[in-house]
Amino acid sequence: MSVTQTETVRVTSEPDIVTARQKARQVAKQIGFSMVNQIKIATGVSELARNIIKYGGSDGQVEISVREENGKKGILIVCSDQGPGIEDIDQAMQDGYTTAGGLGAGLPGTKRLMDEFKVESTVGEGTTVTCCKWL
Amino acid sequence: MERIPIIKIEGMLVISVQTDLHDKLALQLQEDILNHIQDTGARGILIDLSAIDIVDSFMGRVLSDTAHMARILGATTVIVGIQPEVAITLVELGLDLQGVHVALNADRGMDLLRQLQREGF
């Protein structure tokens, strides 16, 4: 498996959400993703970057990389923050569950847009969401 | 501050969103639309999203909230020009813009607004 680091976007305010999703779209396009998948990837990144602003203490980053494994190529997205963390990940993954007055579509919705999706969180330390979509 | 222009045509407010909206700009547009309804007495709102390729859950919520708020002020909203890729992504994300009128393009959106107004909505 090889991962080529391409872009890191620091997310500390709302306009950074736009920067992160546009960068993700750019990288997806370079890798050769179809239009619909470019948009799914960019929309997923938008959801995850917004979570950094809404729940992650407004300080985190989105890393967008190219991943190659067994002849397959894909995009790897790692969103991390040093916020309060998620107490109950299973609950956070339920459609419609929200603690900040949102729609509760962010995490479960993004999972549906991606091929691989993992949430790791430690209360008091932060949250890392890792996801991948294969070409 | 950056603003999305709102124009009045045949008693309707027409908004064509041409830039990737960040959250504050989306909320500013919502407020501007509501103020325009009050100032002009417009009964129809047409929002064209044909130049937009990312509608996430926040943006989706702002759009449907705006339509519901406009309704309370007596105006009907039609969203037009949603790209097929955006429709696919919205539904997978779990958003269906329920309760919001939509049309394929601006022409059909204007027809729909006129029809809804004739029917007294």
d(CA B47, CA B19): 13
Across the interface, whether the CB atoms of B85 and A35 are under 8 A apart is answered yes
> Which residue of B23, B56, B84 is in closest CB contact with A14?
B23
Q: Which domains does chain B have, with CATH numbers?
A: 7-118 (3.30.750.24)
> CA nearest A111 in B: which residue?
B93
Tracing tokens 């991948």 back to the chain, one arrives at: A132
> Which of B58, B97, B98 to mutate against chain A (most A CBs within 10 Å)?
B58
The CATH number corresponding to A2-134 among 3.40.50.1220, 3.30.565.10, 3.40.50.410, 3.30.540.10 equals 3.30.565.10
* pLDDT band, residue A104 (cuts 50/70/90): low
Tracing tokens 């100032």 back to the chain, one arrives at: B39
Q: How far does CA B28 lie from the centroid of its chain? A: 13
- Flag whether pLDDT at A1 surpasses 80: no
Q: Which residues of A touch B88 (CB under 8 A)?
A: 36, 39-40
d(CA B97, CA B114): 21
Pairing mode, strands B7-9 and B12-16: antiparallel
Residue (of B39, B119, B35, B48) closest to B77 by Cα position? B48
A113 and chain B: CB distance < 8 Å anywhere?
Answer: yes
Amino acid identity for residue A1 in this structure: M
> What are B41-98's pLDDT values in tens digits?
999 999 999 999 999 999 999 999 999 999 999 999 999 999 999 999 999 998 888 8
Q: Which residues of B touch A17 (CB under 8 A)?
A: 22-23
> What pTM was computed for the model?
0.92
Across the interface, whether the CB atoms of B89 and A110 are under 8 A apart is answered no
